[in-house]
Amino acid sequence: MIERTHDVLTFTLNNVDHGNEVTGPMFDAMLAELRAEATRPSARVLRLRARGKVFCTGRERAGRDAVAIHKEVTRLIELKRTLRTSPLISVAEIQGDALGFGFGLAIVCDFVYVADNASLGFPEMRFGLAPAAIMAYLGEYALPRFAFPLVLFGDPIAPQHALQIGLISQVCSAGHLAADADALVERILKLDPNAARNCKEFFQTAQQNSFDQNCRLAVEALTVGSMAILAKEK
């Protein structure tokens, strides 16, 4: 379900009978919206939510040959990449279990709020599949000593543990999760829109660059930003 309310774009996973697994049409719909926002931003915040008792227990695996499977995997990687680099500030609201692809999708959001009764994990290795899509970026959020056992053994973890190792932003009581996420969205919307987009873009770029590269980019960014402030004052 895709909804727009003023400056907020909301994706609500609504495949309740199948653990909110993300299907092909759901992938396509979310990608189309994110690509549109990347070229012509009309919203400021993206909320990722789900209906039912679980957040997301994985993705649909319809491919039965190498070509079809390659297409599916390419699409799931592209969704994560597009979500992570989107100019929107993204907020994942995990009201129930988030496993495999579901947990991995939430992690690439800028903020991840989780209900205290949810279970989190990457169970792929239990089925004989190394979760490469998760490992491509998991080390950027959690130290290797914490991250590797999660993907190797596939044991579910509690939200508090995920918070301690850096995979989520906040643990909320189940009854207050929506209200806490609402409050976060309101804080984001109070920020200057252009400054917020620039902050996210620079933050992500800086993680990939050397210190010297970032220093050079900072000079340009601060110059442009300061000129924008002066223009507003005039």
Give SS3 for 115.
Answer: strand
Burial (CB count <10 Å: 0-12, 13-18, 19+), residue 176? middle
54's tokens: 């679980």
Per-residue pLDDT averaged across 10-37, rounded? Answer: 96
Round the average pLDDT of the chain to a whole number and report it. 94
* Percent of the chain residues past pLDDT 90, beyond the cut: 82
Give the Cα separation of 155 and 153 in Å (integer): 6
Asked if pLDDT for residue 234 goes beyond 80, the answer is no
Give this prediction's pTM.
Answer: 0.92
Per-residue confidence (pLDDT) for residue 136, from 0 to 100: 93
User: Helix, strand or coil for residue 218?
Assistant: helix
Average pLDDT (32-60) is 95
CA angle 137, 140, 143 (to 5 degrees): 115
**Tens digit of each residue's pLDDT (9 = 90 or more) over 153-195:** 999 999 999 999 999 999 999 999 999 999 999 999 999 999 9
pLDDT above 80 for 1: yes
Higher pLDDT pick, 68 / 92: 92
CA distance readout (Å), 205 to 84, 197, 213, 217: 12, 12, 10, 9
- 211 pLDDT tier (thresholds 50, 70, 90): confident
